[in-house]
Structure formats: C-alpha cells, structure tokens
Amino acid sequence: MTAIIYSIHPAVAYTQAILSNLQEKTGRTLEEWVAHAKSKGLASEKGLQEWLKEEGLGATQAWIVAERALVANSTHAFLEDTPEGYLRAAAAYVAAMYEGRKAHLKPLFEALLRLGLSLGKDVKACPSKTFVPLYREHVFAQIKPTTQTRIDLGLSLRDTPGKGRLISTGGFAKKDRISHRMEVKSLADINDELRCWLEQAYRMDGP
C-alpha cells in the first residue's frame, strides 16, 4: 500500500526563495523591512503594500513584508512558510478537514490519496486548509470534503465532455485548473471509472 507522504507546497519554496534573496536585492533583511514597515503606522495591508513598493520592494516582496508587519507576534505566525512548519501544518489541515461530522469520510480520503500517489513517483500531495491538491507539473486533481456525506475528486481534464459520473464544473471556460469533478460517497465509488479519469488527468499534465 502506498504510504501517505505530504510534500512541500510550491508556494513555500517560492516564499523561501524570495526571503533568501531579500537582503541581497534590497539591502535590508526581512526583520529590518518589517520594522521599517511598522514604523510607518499604516493599518491597511493594501496601503502598506503600496508604500513598500514606493520604498523599492517588488509586489510579492511588499506583500510578504506587509503581512508580517500587520500580524501580532509575526515571529511565530508564519512558521508555515518554512518547509518544516508547512509539513506540520499540512497534517493539521487534513486532521481538521476530517473531524466531527466528516470523520467517517477519512477512509475515503485516504483511499483517494493513495490512489493518486500510486500513479507515479512524481506525484505530490500538498494540503491546504480546505482540500488536498495533487501535483505533477501542475495541479491535476484535488480531494475536497464538499459536504458531510461526500468528497469531490476534482480533475484537470480541460475541455473533455462530461459523461457518466464525470461532471463538468465549467472550470475550463473560466481558465481554472480543475474542470471536472466526481462524487465519492463510498469506497465502491473509487472504481475503475474513477481511476481511469484520474489517470487521464495525470497523463494530461505530463511533460
């Protein structure tokens, strides 16, 4: 049985790359920028971001600094931006998703996740607070406990016509990655039809 192993979300690596180069590119460390931003005394994150851009930061750099400047005890508030912190948070996200009245959906989630991870060594599961996306080059599927009785397996299948249990979400026309979904209410729903579509989404995101 494929073990459930979460991977670092791409956004974490992106943030880390920005922070590691901040002093070299701007002349100030993150801590120095946060102190500088706090000294301005602005309460609006958007306003603070605009001011930081005027001070020489790029848009993403300004967003990172402003967010930290406006959060109390920011030393601990952004531990999720580190690889170790994110992995701890990822496990907590999943635990919170499948507690209480959704606890009985946990075996369905684990079966879907193991199925996704079994498709190839290049598959990564990177939980967020409300769903678990599966990555290859991009997100090709996501597992979301939509209701207390159902998990939706979202799939990136572009303009594939919906048929059978495959439901078009209209996402392709809106340029969303997830264009279709399949409802999973029992282990019996994780069948050959579902595996076929999941494999198709995986292949369509290949190099």
Domain boundaries defined on the chain: 10-81, 100-204
Average of per-residue pLDDT across 88-99: 94
Between CA 109 and CA 148 the distance in angstroms is 13
Average the pLDDT over 158-186 and give the result: 95
What does the pLDDT look like over 39-93, one tens digit per residue? 999 989 999 999 999 999 999 999 999 988 998 766 656 767 888 889 989 999 9
**How much is the mean pLDDT over the chain?**
92
Which pLDDT belongs to residue 167?
97
Query: Is pLDDT of 26 > 90?
Result: yes
User: Which is more confidently placed, 85 or 196?
Assistant: 196
Residue 3's pLDDT band (cuts 50, 70, 90): low
Confidence of residue 11 (pLDDT cuts 50, 70, 90): confident
DSSP string, the chain: -----B---HHHHHHHHHHHTHHHHHSS-HHHHHHHHHHHT---HHHHHHHHHHTT--HHHHHHHHHHHTSTTHHHHTGGGSHHHHHHHHHHHHHHHTSGGGGGGHHHHHHHHHHHHTT-TT-EE---SS-EEEESSSEEEEEE--SSS-EEEEE--TTPPP-TT-EE-STTTTT-S--EEEEESSGGGSSHHHHHHHHHHHHHT--
pLDDT of 206 reads 75
Each residue's pLDDT tens digit, 125-162: 999 999 999 999 999 999 999 999 999 999 999 999 99
Pick the closest to residue 119 from 92, 141, 88 (CA basis): 141
Q: Give the mean model confidence (pLDDT) for residues 30-42.
A: 93
Do the beta carbons of residue 92 and residue 99 sit within 8 Å? no
Reported confidence tier of residue 13, pLDDT bands at 50, 70, 90:
confident
